[in-house]
Amino acid sequence: MDDIFADVIEVFPEPSGGKAKRRYRISAVGVALKRAAIVRTKPWLKSTGPTTVPGKKTSSQNHLLHGLYTAEFAGERLVLWRAMGEIRRAGSPGRGRKKPPPEPQLEPRVS
């Protein structure tokens, strides 16, 4: 007897920190239905960002609440920027400075 799950696709999402997501199965019919729904609804045409001026103003300040520009990281960021400036001023040979081109070697002319 043939395997009744031959057309089933197993999906293993990558764990994104913390608890791993559970795996799920989707058949070829399920994939086709999802694909048809996506083509029908055209989510790529719908706007995902704010449209009003107050909404744009609010979302433009998100970097102050999340990520490396928060007050929590201000001290660490300042230390890092100062260290990077010192490295640049010292002229680190590893990066940022180009070596001068080699001197051309002239061969004596034979006349």
Sorted by where each begins, the domain ranges of the chain are 1-47, 62-92
Query: How confident is the model at residue 57, as a pLDDT?
Result: 92
Question: pTM here?
Answer: 0.31
- Please list the ranges in the chain whose pLDDT falls under 50: 1-2
Q: Which two tokens stand for residue 41?
A: 């609804």
